[in-house]
Amino acid sequence: MTMTGGCLCGKVRYTCKSDPLLCVTCHCKNCQRQAGSSLSVIIGVPEDAVACEGEVTTYDDTGDSGATVRRQFCGTCGSPVFTRVESPPGMMFIKAGTLDDTSILKPAFHCYTKSKQDWVDLGDIPGFETVPHGL
């Protein structure tokens, strides 16, 4: 499968030549702040499957675990595009809202439900207080 997407203004475009390894909804406070919303939907893909055109700006954040979270966004329009973390190695995350075709999206689970907004209904998708062990 090939997925394509980009930022709001079109200066950052990417192609991913891989099926999604996972799709997750994150409710951590920093994802809420970066998304400007109650949550962030992210798609895990192999790092080497993604080709990016245009320049992303990187902001190094610190996650709840203390690990570095590299938040990458378009420096022109501010759209969050990628998130890179140390674990799992070789994986990066695409911000799902930047996909040209979002019909493939079906989150496998919610993470950081301990900080979700009270009005968010998780439905029938499993939720974890932080990140499931092993991810």
How many domains does the chain fold into?
1
Q: Is residue 124 a part of any domain in this protein?
A: no
Q: Is residue 123 a part of any domain in this protein?
A: no
Q: Which domain holds residue 65?
A: 3-115
C-alpha dihedral over 47, 50, 52, 58, to 10 degrees? -20
Q: Is residue 29 a part of any domain in this protein?
A: yes
Q: Is residue 44 a part of any domain in this protein?
A: yes
The per-residue pLDDT for range 78-89, each reduced to its tens digit, is: 999 999 998 888
The per-residue pLDDT for range 42-83, each reduced to its tens digit, is: 999 999 999 999 999 999 999 877 889 999 999 999 999 999
Look at strands 40-46 and 50-53 and give their pairing: unpaired
Q: Is residue 36 a part of any domain in this protein?
A: yes
